[in-house]
Amino acid sequence: MKIAVMVKQVADTAARIALLPDGSAVNYEGVQLVLNPYDEFAVEEAIKLKEAGGGEVVLFNLGPDSADEALKTALAMGADRAVVLRDPELGQADASVRAEILAAMIAREEFDIIFCGKQSVDSDTHQVGPAVAEKLGMPAVTFINAFSLEGNKATVSREAEGVAETLEITLPALFTCTKGLNEPRYPSLPGIMQAARKPKEVLSLADLGIQPEAKVKRQGLGSPPPRAEGRMLTGETDEKVKELVRLLRDEAHAI
C-alpha cells in the first residue's frame, strides 16, 4: 500500500492574527507555526495503515523553507520520506494553484491512497483535497471520521449536516480527515532522531513543467469589525435572567 499525505504548515490556532501595517498581508512575525492540526489525523491514519499492512508513507508539502519544521513533526511520527516544493509565494497562493502543483507532484508516482486534513486552518478553503482528486481523476470523500480497508475498497464514515453517512470507495482515492478519525501519536525520541535523516526530495515548478495561474485575486484584507461593548446584567440571578429575556425579545429581536 503506497500512501501519499499532503501536509501544510500553518499558524497555531492559539495565535492572534494581525495584518502588516499596510494591510497587504498577514503579519507572521512572532506567530508560532505548526503542522496543520487536521493533517495530524491524516498522517496518523497513513502510519496506522502502513503498520497494519506494510507499504510506504510519502509526505507532500508546498511552502517556505520554514515548513521543514512541520514536515519534521510528520516524519518523526513515522512517515518514510518527503517530496517538497519550496517557494515562499506559492505557499499562500490560491487553493487551485496549490492543488494543481500538489497534484503534479503526486502524479510522478502511483499511490493507492491520498490523505490530507479536511482544511488548513489558515485559508480555510477545504478545497485542496477534492481539487487534487479532481485533477488526478480519482474519487474523494471529505471529512472522514472512520476508515477501514478491505482489498481495494475503503469504507469510510462522516457526518454531513446531521446525516451520518457510510460510503464505500474503490481505490485509488483521496480522503480528507477530521477529528475523531484517530488519536495522533506524539513523535517518539527515536522518531525525532530519525526524522532528520529521512529522504527529502526538493522539486521546482520547472521540474513539474507547469505554470499554474491564479484563479482568485485578493483585492483586500481586513480585520473583523470589533464588536460593540456588551452589557453586564446586574441584580439577583432571577432579575438578570428576566432582563436577558426581555432584551433578547424587545431590543435584539433575536427570539
Q: Which is nearer to another protein, 144 or 195 (CB)?
A: 144
- Per CB under 8 A, contacts with another protein among 182-221 are 213-221
In angstroms, what is the minimal distance from the CB of 2 to another protein? 18
Q: Which is nearer to another protein, 41 or 83 (CB)?
A: 41
- Per CB under 8 A, contacts with another protein among 97-136 are 99-100, 121-131, 133-135
**Chosen residue from 46, 85, 95, 106 binding another protein by CB under 8 A:** 95
Residues in the chain: 255
**Chosen residue from 21, 22, 54, 228 binding another protein by CB under 8 A:** 228
Q: Specify burial of residue 205 (Cβ count, 10 A radius: 0-12, 13-18, 19+).
A: middle
Q: Which is nearer to another protein, 160 or 206 (CB)?
A: 160
**Stretch touching another protein by CB under 8 A, among 53-61, 71-79, 155-163, 202-210:** 155-163
Q: Which is nearer to another protein, 108 or 218 (CB)?
A: 218
Render 112-163 in DSSP notation, one character per residue: SEEEEES--TTT----HHHHHHHHHT--EEEEESEEEEETTEEEEEEEETTE
Q: Which is nearer to another protein, 16 or 197 (CB)?
A: 16
In angstroms, what is the minimal distance from the CB of 225 to another protein? 9
**Chosen residue from 17, 193, 196, 210 binding another protein by CB under 8 A:** 17
Element (H, E) at 35: strand 33-35
* Assigned C-alpha cell, 49: 495503515
Residue 142 interacting with another protein (CB under 8 A): yes
CA distance 19 to 26: 4
Task: Find out whether 157 and 142 touch, Cβ atoms under 8 Å.
Answer: no
Q: Which is nearer to another protein, 48 or 135 (CB)?
A: 135
- Per CB under 8 A, contacts with another protein among 24-43 are 26, 37-38
Exposure b/e, 90-111, CB count within 10 A at least 16 = b: bbbbbbbbbbbbbbbbbeeeeb
Q: Which is nearer to another protein, 61 or 120 (CB)?
A: 120
Task: Find out whether 115 and 42 touch, Cβ atoms under 8 Å.
Answer: yes
**Chosen residue from 8, 72, 98, 158 binding another protein by CB under 8 A:** 158
Which residue from 12, 62, 51, 4 is spatially nearest to 182, judged by alpha carbons?
51
Amino acid, res. 177: C
Three-state secondary-structure class, residue 58: strand
- Per CB under 8 A, contacts with another protein among 44-83 are none
